[in-house]
Amino acid sequence: MAARDEDPQPDPGWYYNTRTGEVEHGAVSRAIDRMGPYPDEATARQALEIARARTEEADEADRKWNEGSSN
């Protein structure tokens, strides 16, 4: 039995398909080809930019950590 706070019909979310470059609503394609889920179609369309920004932030955090640990 599902917990009371679980939605029995949750929104399937929006995904960006890295193989086709298309945005999909729900788990339409293979998981390996998808990024997401995102809350809406517009955000899913920005998936690559979001991933790029997160990677840059993580790289910067690594650089700062590495600089601090070498002292």
Contact between 41 and 15 under an 8 Å Cβ cutoff? The reply is: no
Banded model confidence at residue 69, pLDDT cuts 50, 70, 90: low
- The whole model's pTM is what? 0.75
* DSSP code string of 35-54: EEEESSHHHHHTHHHHHHHH
**Extended beta strands in 1-71, E state:** 14-17, 23-25, 34-38
Q: How far is CA 6 from the centre of its chain?
A: 22
> pLDDT for 20-39, tens place per residue?
999 999 989 999 999 999 99
pLDDT of residue 70: 53
